[in-house]
């Protein structure tokens, strides 16, 4: 009899997942739609999430806690920038508004308005989940060797 295939390098995984904040709010979930499929190590899951489910097998339904250092990191104060208000002419600003900027390579950089006045706008370029401890619920449907 062969060993049960477990999640790890050279495997493809099909699962349902839910990502939740400590207060229980759901950030993302596939439980109400088709399950997700990824190859271990392909970059679709952050390494900390992959490490948390490594060794799981089909039929496992578990919830693991992912600390900020293994998820989206800690907020970096250098990622909070103050930009002159005249760069936002015609925009209806409000705290929490997501604004997309383009860097020199024309890569999109999302930032969140933290505060503003007539002269300046404070934009936070940290990932919105930076500094958050997350609950990662998984229901493993299939694990197969690649």
Report all structural domains of the chain as residue ranges with CATH numbers, in order of start. Answer: 11-72+130-145 (3.10.50.40), 77-124 (2.40.10.330)
**Is 2's pLDDT higher than 80?**
no
Residues 76-119: pLDDT tens digits?
999 999 999 999 999 999 999 999 998 888 889 999 999 999 99
Sorted by sequence, the CB contacts under 8 Å of residue 45 that are 6+ apart come out as 38
Q: Sorting pLDDT into bands at 50, 70 and 90, what band is 1?
A: very low
Q: What does the pLDDT average to over 114-139?
A: 96
Residue 90 burial (10 A CB sphere; 0-12, 13-18, 19+): exposed
Distance between CA atoms of residues 49 and 43, nearest Å: 11
Question: Where is 50: in which H helix or E strand?
Answer: helix 47-53
């Amino acid at each position: 009899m062969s060993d049960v295939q477990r999640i790890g390098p050279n495997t493809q995984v099909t699962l349902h997942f839910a990502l939740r904040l400590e207060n229980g709010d759901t950030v993302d979930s596939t439980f109400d739609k088709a399950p997700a499929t990824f190859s271990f190590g392909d970059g679709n899951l952050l390494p900390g999430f992959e490490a948390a489910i490594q060794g799981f097998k089909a039929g496992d339904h578990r919830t693991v806690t992912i600390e900020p250092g293994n998820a989206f990191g800690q907020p970096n104060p250098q990622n909070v920038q103050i930009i002159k208000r005249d760069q936002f002419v015609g925009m209806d600003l409000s705290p929490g508004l997501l604004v997309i900027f383009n860097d020199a390579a024309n890569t999109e950089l999302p930032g969140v308005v933290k505060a503003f006045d007539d002269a300046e706008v404070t934009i936070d370029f940290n990932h919105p989940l930076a500094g958050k401890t997350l609950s990662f619920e998984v229901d493993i449907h299939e694990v197969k060797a690649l």
